[in-house]
Amino acid sequence: MTDPFDDHGRHLQPLPDSTLRDLGLNECADRDYRKLAVEILFNRKSPYLKHEGLREFVQELEIELEGIQFEFPAPGPGPMTSSITTATMFGHESD
């Protein structure tokens, strides 16, 4: 038998939004577990994210999302290019 809390939150996926909201608001639950419940709501774009008690988690998730977007910008309209080619990858190092 597997531990339901060792599945990286997959057991939370089928829960309804109202239950995830309640879990996010439960101050007795582990903070990371609460944030995971709010993250699922965030991905679902749930209207429950407007709850005042979830504001801190929503702000953290928005900051994390913005950081990812800045670190990895979307590719431009042209073909993708790389600075590494087979010539530079297998070429000889210059002395």
Domain ranges of the chain: 9-73
Is 0.75 surpassed by the pTM of this model?
Answer: no
pLDDT at 86: 65
How far apart CA 25 and CA 35 sit, in angstroms, is 10
How far apart CA 6 and CA 92 sit, in angstroms, is 47
Per-residue pLDDT of the chain (95 residues), as tens digits, is 566 667 778 889 999 999 999 999 999 999 999 999 999 999 999 999 999 999 999 999 988 887 654 445 566 676 666 666 666 666 665 54
